Amino acid sequence: MKVEVECYSGYKLDERPLRFSLKGRVFEVLEVLDRWYGPRDIYFKVRATGGGAYILRRNEARGEVEWTLEAYRAEPA
């Protein structure tokens, strides 16, 4: 699922996500839990407002950057 992501850009472009928008709702990233790299992708596992953990993927294909939501896991009650 495509998402819009605002990032912090320090040493590198799109170093880490700050907030993302999903179906018109904005989520603030509270913590980056993990990050890993693929051949053309960077994955971020984040904890965000509203609860739960989200896996966001930054894909740079054909010179364009596309962000997608790859997974979501609710916090245990």
Residue range 38-76, pLDDT digits in tens: 888 999 999 999 889 999 999 987 778 899 999 999 887
Segments making up each domain of the chain, as ranges: 4-73
Q: Characterize the bridge pairing of strands 25-37 and 41-48.
A: antiparallel
pLDDT at 27 over 90: yes
CA atoms within 13 A on the CB side of 8: 10
Query: Within the chain, where are the H helices?
Result: none
Instruction: Report how far residue 15's alpha carbon sits from residue 29's, in angstroms, rounded to the nearest whole number.
Output: 13
pLDDT number for residue 25? 93
pLDDT at 77 over 70: no
Stated pTM of the model: 0.89
pLDDT at 29 over 70: yes
